Amino acid sequence: MVSCIEAQSITLTPFAKRIEFDLNELDLAELNRRFESATPQEILAWAIATIPNLVQMTSFSMGAVTHMLYHELQTKVPVIFLNTLYLFPETLETAEKAKKIYNLCLYTCQAASTREEFIAKYGDKLWEKDVNRFHQLTKVQPMNKALDELSVQGWITGRRRDQSVQRQAMPILERDQDGRIKINPLANWSHKDLWRYTFANSVFYNPLHDQGYSSIGDQPLTTKVQAGEDERAGRWRDSGKTECGIHS
């Protein structure tokens, strides 16, 4: 795992006055009302100023949030990346590129460090036999280890409401099952907003997007998306599954 550096300088906004208090006392309902008209940068600045041990979770699909944190807000929030051992080569190449720029913290399956070791222990194509077990081993357990080791109190995602029907009611701020604050600064952004920011700021992204993949996960479980489909329709196609377990 790459060492993780604590957040440094930030730009405060009217939403981000630095105060000390118990995070359990945060009124998320009121904050969500305030942030409904805020920009992602304002939401992120508030989070950096308010929440200790803050991290970003990324799959290296799109890089807008990381760009905002590092280049606009001038902070070095640790960026957690989960290598499931079954990612696309393009995803790993994107992560390698990001490692030269960002404070990347790499976590992988605790029981195997290579795909060969994973197959030897759990059998080939575990996702076909028990997809929930597969994600528990390759995503949920490594994520929980990262959150625990870094004493995380808040984590940032890149989720948006327009990605799928299941995410339409997603709040900007929420608590995960362990009481940590989960921040979704792009919740109100559209697909067009994301790409407009990406091109305007020359943010690098996973090249699989140029090949018809609009949501990118594990290679065996990700397909291209056709016109008119939800952005995440290519994940777990025809299985009824909509989340890997990290956000459910």
Residues labelled as active-site residues:
244
Q: How far apart are the first and last CA of the chain?
A: 25
Sheet of strand 54-58, all strands in order from the earlier edge strand to the far edge? 104-108, 79-83, 54-58, 154-156, 181-183, 173-175
- Is residue 81 within 8 A of residue 107, CB to CB? The reply is yes
Q: What share of the chain is helix, strand, coil (3-state, %, to 5)?
A: 40, 10, 50
Cβ-based neighbours of 127, under 8 Å, separated by 6 or more: 86, 134, 218, 220, 221
The token pair at 145 is: 């280890």
Residue 234: exposure state from Cβ atoms within 10 A (0-12, 13-18, ≥19): buried
Burial (CB count within 10 angstroms: exposed 0-12, middle 13-18, buried 19+), residue 165 = exposed
Q: How far apart are CA 92 and CA 101, in angstroms?
A: 15
Distance, in Å, from the CA atom of 211 to the CA atom of 193, rounded to the nearest integer, reads 20
Of the candidates 185, 163, 152, 143, which has an alpha carbon nearest to the alpha carbon of residue 32?
Answer: 185
